[in-house]
Each structure stands twice: as structure tokens, then as C-alpha cells.
């Protein structure tokens, strides 16, 4: 029914603008109906293509989002691994430095007592040598007196 109202409105508009009276079975109105149908079909086809394009864009967007997340995760993992490796290297360097520093302090702290101990041992050896020398001299004097 709405289609008949459109045709009547079209006939009235043509009559007022152009001064031509058309009947509902006029070939011009048939062409108008065909054009209207073709435009409707074309609009439906364009809407279907637009919907397909929209779906394809959404799918591409989702795929890109997944790929971007995967790349970001890969980059973050690589950065984390590099950071961990650098941290391990620094810790090893500082541990070695700490061991060297402790060894140096221990050596410095023990160096003087060891040096003093050696000096005392050398003095004891000299004293022992002198005591043995004195004992030998006393023994020789005692032997020679008899």
C-alpha cells in the first residue's frame, strides 16, 4: 500500500512540475518502479558488502591485537631475561669483589701477627743456637779441665 501512495505522489509531482498527466500503467512509471527496485537491491547489496567489510575489519583488528599482545609479551620477556642476566652478572662481580676485599682485610689483619710470629720464631732459633753454643763451650771447658 505504501508503494501505491508513493506512485500517486510521484504522479502528482510530475503533473504539478511538468504539467503532464500520467496514469499508473504509464511506461515512465514502470521505469520508475524498476529503478526503485534496482536502487533497493543495490542498497541491500551495498549493505551486505559493508557488513562483510566491517566483519573483516573487526577480524583483522582482533588478529592485530593478538599479534601486538604477543609481540609486546615477547619484548617484555626479552627485556626481563636481559635484566636478570645483567643482575646476575652484577651480583657475581660484587660477590667476587666482596670476597677479594674480605681476603685483603683478613690478610692485612693476619699479616702483622704472622710477621711478629716469624720474628719471635727467629729470635727463639737464635736464642736456642746461643744456648747450644754455650752448652758446647761449657762441655768443652769441662772436658779440657779434666
Q: What is the pLDDT of residues 80-90, one digit of tens each?
A: 999 999 999 99
Kindly report whether the global pTM for this prediction surpasses the value 0.75.
Answer: no
Q: Are 7 and 24 in contact, with CB atoms under 8 Å apart?
A: yes
What residue spans define the domains of the chain? Answer: 1-145
Q: Using N-to-C axis directions, what is the helix angle for 27-145 and 2-18, rounded to 10°?
A: 110
C-alpha cell at 34: 524498476
Half-sphere exposure of 15 toward its Cβ, with a 13 Å CA cutoff?
Answer: 10
Looking at residue 46, what is its pLDDT? 96
1: pLDDT confidence band, cut at 50, 70 and 90?
low
C-alpha cell at 141: 771447658
What is the longest distance spanned by two Cα atoms in the chain? 179
Looking at residue 28, what is its pLDDT? 84
Higher pLDDT, 106 or 120: 120
Separation between Cα atoms, residue 40 and residue 6, nearest integer Å: 15
Question: Average pLDDT, stretch 2-30?
Answer: 83
Amino acid at each position: 500500500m505504501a508503494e501505491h501512495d508513493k506512485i500517486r505522489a510521484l504522479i502528482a509531482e510530475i503533473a504539478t512540475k511538468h504539467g503532464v498527466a500520467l496514469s499508473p500503467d504509464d511506461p515512465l512509471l514502470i521505469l520508475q518502479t524498476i529503478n526503485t527496485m534496482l536502487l533497493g537491491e543495490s542498497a541491500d547489496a551495498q549493505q551486505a558488502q559493508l557488513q562483510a567489510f566491517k566483519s573483516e575489519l573487526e577480524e583483522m583488528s582482533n588478529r592485530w591485537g593478538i599479534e601486538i599482545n604477543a609481540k609486546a609479551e615477547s619484548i617484555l620477556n626479552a627485556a626481563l631475561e636481559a635484566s636478570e642476566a645483567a643482575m646476575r652478572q652484577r651480583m657475581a662481580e660484587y660477590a667476587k669483589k666482596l670476597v677479594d676485599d674480605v681476603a685483603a682485610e683478613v690478610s692485612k689483619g693476619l699479616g702483622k701477627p704472622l710477621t711478629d710470629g716469624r720474628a719471635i720464631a727467629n729470635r727463639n732459633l737464635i736464642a736456642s743456637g746461643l744456648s747450644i753454643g754455650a752448652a758446647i763451650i761449657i762441655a768443652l771447658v769441662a772436658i779440657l779441665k779434666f
